[in-house]
Structure 1
């Protein structure tokens, strides 16, 4: 069985986190449940303005709107990019009923440029109770995520090993 939990280290501290249900791997494929291995830039922060205050960070911050989503259709030109619903292809809603995406850190995974099928929507976001595994993202306690974001700015990266 592959590990589904890890530690995120930042600012001299370690934070428990959930990872993909199929662990960490060098090769990431759309829908495989793997958290990709590598060093990824923290691109920007999205948040639910109606639920939480604007996160304190030096990264770019944008509120999540009711029509916001993320394209996960490998054959679509908007693959692994933020989109607006209605949308003609498969996409994940960012405006969720649960609190998992109240804060979303967009990672620079498969985005320069996006390669079809190499994985999409790899984020750092809030964890489920008991740190249940993710579909490939890193998930932290919301308070830990907010604490870490205060340390982050342009040039910040996460290293997944």
Structure 2
């Protein structure tokens, strides 16, 4: 999967799922609109910087407040996947964590996305997820429309070792 924004300071992103056939040919799925962090992207992410980390990260676990929609990823359902209040543009945040896919930035794969241990240290931040879009920028996550998120949840196969490549287009083209 590729999540890319138009510039380093942009919070507007496009997410695209790519799949390989048996011969190694890659096919791109539809480009889907999304949001990333309010202040864009960084190669040196830290807690509270309001930027999304740039890099290639595995996708190993999922979860949410709602029942498993049929993902093959380990799914952790909990009422703790709750977010209230409003976003940076006054948009309601309720329901944003109904479904999430953990992006393995500063987290231990195989644990619930709610796990707060951070192998790189708490100052490097954590809790970077794919989650439902609330209509505005995030703190560091990638947010896409709920139907698109459900599609990803059911499409990702842990046997294929899914990853997300994320960052601004100029960085990813290097």
Please give the TM-score of this superposition, normalised by the length of structure 1: 0.74
Specify which of 84, 99, 107 is matched with residue 95 of structure 2.
99
Cα RMSD of the aligned pairs, angstroms, is 1.6
Contact kept, 8 Å, 2:59 with 2:163, in 1: the verdict is yes
Specify which of 31, 37, 49 is matched with residue 14 of structure 1.
31
Q: CA deviation at 1:48?
A: 1.5
Q: CA deviation at 1:133?
A: 0.4
Gaps of 5+ in 2: 1-7, 19-28, 85-93, 109-118, 168-174
1:10-159 equivalent positions in 2, closer than 5 A:
10-11=17-18, 12-49=29-66, 53-65=67-79, 68=80, 94-97=81-84, 98-111=94-107, 113-129=119-135, 132-154=136-158, 155-159=161-165
Q: Which has the higher helix share?
A: 2
Please give the TM-score of this superposition, normalised by the length of structure 2: 0.69
Secondary structure in structure 2 of the residue aligned to 1:117: helix
Aligned length: 129
Large movers: runs of 4+ above 6 Å:
none
Deviations 1:40-99 (A, max 9, x none): 1112111213xxx4222211112113xx3xxxxxxxxxxxxxxxxxxxxxxxxx323510
* Cα distance in 1, alignment partners of residues 69 and 34 from structure 2: 19
